[in-house]
Structure 1
Amino acid sequence: MSHIPPETGKTAAPLIEVRSIDWVPENERRGKLWHQGPLWFLGNFQYFSIPIGFIGPSMGLSLGWTIVASVLGIAVGTVFMAFHASQGPTMGLPQLIQSRAQFGYRGVIVPLLATLFTYMAFNVADTVLLSEGLGSSFGWDPTLIAVLATVAGAGLAIFGHDWLHKAFRILLYISLPVMTILTIGVIAGAAGGTWDATQYGFSWQGFMAQFAACAAYNITYAPYVSDYSRYLPTNTSARSVIAAVFFGASSSAIWLIALGAWLTIALGATDGLAGLQTAGNTIFAPLGDAAALLSALALTATMGMNAYGGALTVLTTIDSVRPIKPKTTARVVTILVLALAWYLIASSINSGAVATVFSALTLMLYILVPWTATNLVDFFIVRKGHYAIADLFTPNGIYGAWGWRGLTAFGIGLLAEVPFMVLPTIGGWSYVGPAAAALGDVDIAWLIGLAVTSVAYLLMGRSLDLTAEETERRRSDEHLASKDPEGDHK
């Protein structure tokens, strides 16, 4: 894999992050591998994870089968996420900048727009969940909750990479003991709850819906997971990064999704936060109140993570149309604009928490799978991690303005999904593809998209002139190594 020669000395971390969509030189690689596990553990150790466990039971799936589907779905989705994380130390770039190698300097706008939708959909859904959950649990004003969550998430994103890592670790240290005690109480039967086993069983529709939602949950981290590993030293072991991210992101998600399934089946919870509060306070008060508040705070921190990635996506989009020198001010202004946008959209949504979560995850999965397949096949199979980083910042480089291979594979994969799609009701409109209808409304669209996109890009990638690219890569490495660490790396 390509390695940029290291520079000597380490710069001190600024209060507000200076870097944006530019390359991170070796002397600024102050990240630590062990930070990855806590970051991604808490990334899923929050309120959003709980109602994902409601999806299977809402279709009649039993607790046992819901947990099986969730474990399998999370495992599959996290594999893709973790492999993307390993690209951060190698490239020292935000994820979507790296995608210019597959889609071209300007062509990357296509997956950029899809990714921006993901960030916004998550923060809109998060705002709705927090407003409904805290309003239901504590009787607080939903509008005030939405405003405070938006301000806090945007503020954390503005301070940037290092502060996001710190905030996530602090929240994890506080919330882990509380959730552990609550979960032990549930397992021991101290949280109460009963259910009629005849109401729940097995169905392929419910199993695949739960499986797909769980796979989507961590696949949706893929477009920005390497944004948080790009400050790791270049020589960081790829296997270590993959393992840290996989176990961090998967274990917490499985934990809370399984707990969510129990809450809806045993307690009849329709809101994850209220269910968490009821179960905890039944064990002993104020355990439930503490668990609900900490889960809400963790979700607010995750909104900051989404806002940070969303800002990088917007700046990359602008840079792909008209090259810019990314400054701190541009990143801050972009975050504030995004925060206003997701708050206004969330304020206009009246759908319930489960519907909001399921609809958002389904759409994100359909859109992101063709991108993740293209990116991973290129990185690990076609180009094997060898990239000319300097050429990613110009439309005149070896990757060109429009990467027809990546764009074609993305389009083919997305079209292949359509007959197999099972879109949930959104604004009174829904869609079930003919192939999905023949399968009894079982949703396998994303699996079809994954396979078709991978094969398509692999076949088209055979026409690349990798020898010429290797020559340019060496030239790029020499160019970056000669640059002043604080200078322009374009």
Structure 2
Amino acid sequence: MTAAEPSTDGSYRDRIAAIEPGGNEFIAEADRHGKPSQLFWTWTSPNLEFATIFLGVLAVSVYGMTFWQTLAGMAVGTGLGALAHYFLSKRGPRHGVPQMVLGRLAFGFRGNAVPSLLMTVTAGIGWFATNSVSGAFALSTLVGVAPVLALVFVVVVQTALAVFGHNLVQAFERWAFPVLAVIFAVTSVVILSKADFGAPAVAGGVGGTGGFLLTVGTAFGYVAGWAPYAADYTRYLPKSDATARTGFFAAAGLFVSCLVLQVVGAASVTIGPAVSDNPTAAFTAELAPLLANLTLLAIAIGAIAANAINIYSGAMAFVTIGVKLPHHVARAAATVFFGVVGFLIAWWALADAAASYEAFLLIIAYWIGPWLGVVFADQYLRGDQPVAHFLYDRTYSNWPGLLSFLIGLVVSVALFCNQTNFVGYVARAVPQLGDITFFVGFLIAGGCYLVLCRSKLATERVAA
């Protein structure tokens, strides 16, 4: 670390009932605490919720996949997303900064504002609204109140957690883990015991290769959607924990929780109707009353667990854009702002949760694919090069990185996007491809970065 870097002062450490004093500063050794194994529940708890279940529901009821095709597609997409999380999480203890601050290496200080803004909107508003909808539906069904009133409660609780910051968010994930794990384990056994694994594909779905690739894409979009947060929750670990164990526990928590509930969601469609005005009520309809109520409670808690992370990291990305306010003020203000905006969008989305969710998952993957391509290409070219002096340098630029990202994003969307409102040129000509925008974006952006930035980074290595 250089003297120019802002750093925490050692006053926060492992205090839970305290508002995190900093923003996106380097975490000083005096504030480092925790161990890699805690990352398992940090990334399991936020995925034990209905948004994960609904991935499997979509694959069977909308994409026209059988149960076994869904299992294969979800395993591929989830595995790829978890693999990306593995590599990004490992970097947190070594560098001690949030994920989007590390992004300044690949995009430069000002250029990084583009992916940081996308991350802010995706996490602090998009995901926040998406998960708030499922939590509100579950709570509404459980206690018999109007969905909008349940939405208000869910939004207030998860926003309060994020305002307190890193340690309380991590603690909530730990407290929620045993409750969510036990309830969803019992629910999963019941659903799977009733499922018809040999049920034919639902008529009218996409089907075929296109349906399978859509299944892979939505699973990847969901899991990779956590990638821009990865180092946010490992940066407080001691520097000695920059090892494979850190990456393993983070990736394992994601992979296990996501794949299990995706499969349960797919199995539930073989029992009865899965999509209705209240998807959570449809999912729990085949359960005994007590278990149904416990599952609804778990869905609400899981939504809060997910959104505590979403709004915290969304605010962290907002601070990283380069707003010239005291970091702790900017983070707290952004947290409250996203809570309000996320509530309004969630309120609007209550009317058609299924369609909104499908489109949102794919759109996330559209920008995260090329972002990952650039970030991994940068990491490959830099190797073990010291980078601390670049992270808070407002004059540091890497415009070819931003250009690579934009090329990957624009070309992949123009050619391979397969949305209701726009179908890319290749997807239109070869519809059986489904939607592979994310993979193409990753390859194009990463390839462009390797070509455009190799000499620049080699010069920086010599200068260092």
Structure 1 length as normaliser, TM-score? 0.86
Matched, 1:177 2:169: no
Q: Quote how far apart the aligned CAs of 1:471 are.
A: 5.5
Q: Which residue of 2 aligns with 1:82?
A: 86
Q: Quote how far apart the aligned CAs of 1:218 are.
A: 1.1
| Kept in 2: contact 1:263–1:272 (CA 8 A) | no
Matched, 1:446 2:438: yes
| Kept in 1: contact 2:229–2:313 (CA 8 A) | yes
Q: Which residue of 2 aligns with 1:295?
A: 299
C-alpha distance in structure 2 between counterparts of 1:277 and 1:16, whole Å: 37
Amino acid of the structure 1 residue aligned with 2:450: L
Work out which of the residue numbers 396, 409, 423 in structure 2 matches 1:414: 409
Q: What SS is found at the alignment partner of 1:458? A: helix
Query: Which structure 2 residues correspond to residues 165-244 of structure 1 after superposition, within 5 A?
Result: 165-189=170-194, 197=200, 199=202, 203-244=208-249
Q: Quote how far apart the aligned CAs of 1:351 are.
A: 4.4
Matched, 1:117 2:121: yes
C-alpha distance in structure 1 between counterparts of 2:211 and 2:107, whole Å: 36
| Kept in 2: contact 1:224–1:309 (CA 8 A) | yes
Residues 246-274 of structure 1, C-alpha deviations (whole Å, 9 max, x = no match): 11101110111111111123221215522
Amino acid of the structure 1 residue aligned with 2:127: F
C-alpha distance in structure 1 between counterparts of 2:143 and 2:418, whole Å: 33
| Kept in 2: contact 1:54–1:264 (CA 8 A) | yes
Residues 37-73 of structure 1, C-alpha deviations (whole Å, 9 max, x = no match): 1110112111110111122212221111111111111
C-alpha distance in structure 2 between counterparts of 1:265 and 1:33, whole Å: 38
| Kept in 2: contact 1:158–1:335 (CA 8 A) | yes
Residues 61-96 of structure 1, C-alpha deviations (whole Å, 9 max, x = no match): 111111111111100111112211111111100111
Q: Which residue of 1 aligns with 2:345?
A: 345
C-alpha distance in structure 2 between counterparts of 1:457 and 1:215, whole Å: 22
C-alpha distance in structure 2 between counterparts of 1:128 and 1:166, whole Å: 24
Mark the runs of 5 or more structure 2 residues left unpaired by the alignment. Answer: none
Residues 8-61 of structure 1, C-alpha deviations (whole Å, 9 max, x = no match): 999643422122111101121112111101110112111110111122212221
Q: Quote how far apart the aligned CAs of 1:305 are.
A: 0.7
Matched, 1:142 2:147: yes
Structure 2 length as normaliser, TM-score? 0.91
C-alpha distance in structure 2 between counterparts of 1:137 and 1:301, whole Å: 18
| Kept in 2: contact 1:358–1:424 (CA 8 A) | no
Amino acid of the structure 1 residue aligned with 2:186: I
Residues 370-425 of structure 1, C-alpha deviations (whole Å, 9 max, x = no match): 1111112211x1111434323321223xxx2x311211110110122123333434
C-alpha distance in structure 2 between counterparts of 1:213 and 1:86, whole Å: 25
| Kept in 2: contact 1:46–1:299 (CA 8 A) | yes
Q: Quote how far apart the aligned CAs of 1:133 are.
A: 3.9
Q: Which residue of 2 aligns with 1:484?
A: none
| Kept in 2: contact 1:94–1:230 (CA 8 A) | yes
Q: What SS is found at the alignment partner of 2:419? A: strand
Root-mean-square deviation (Å) = 2.6
Aligned length: 452
Amino acid of the structure 1 residue aligned with 2:404: A
C-alpha distance in structure 2 between counterparts of 1:34 and 1:403, whole Å: 35
Matched, 1:44 2:54: no
| Kept in 2: contact 1:131–1:146 (CA 8 A) | yes
Q: Which residue of 1 aligns with 2:424?
A: 433
Deviates more, 1:129-138 or 1:333-342: 129-138
Amino acid of the structure 2 residue aligned with 1:219: A
Q: Quote how far apart the aligned CAs of 1:367 are.
A: 1.2
| Kept in 2: contact 1:370–1:410 (CA 8 A) | yes
Work out which of the residue numbers 248, 251, 254 in structure 1 matches 2:256: 251
Q: Quote how far apart the aligned CAs of 1:345 are.
A: 2.1
Q: Quote how far apart the aligned CAs of 1:203 are.
A: 1.1
Q: Which residue of 2 aligns with 1:280?
A: 287
Amino acid of the structure 2 residue aligned with 1:279: E
Q: Quote how far apart the aligned CAs of 1:125 are.
A: 1.3
C-alpha distance in structure 1 between counterparts of 2:176 and 2:415, whole Å: 40
C-alpha distance in structure 2 between counterparts of 1:262 and 1:367, whole Å: 30
Q: Provide the identity percentage.
A: 24
Q: Quote how far apart the aligned CAs of 1:231 are.
A: 0.5
Mark the runs of 5 or more structure 1 residues left unpaired by the alignment. Answer: 473-490
Matched, 1:158 2:163: yes
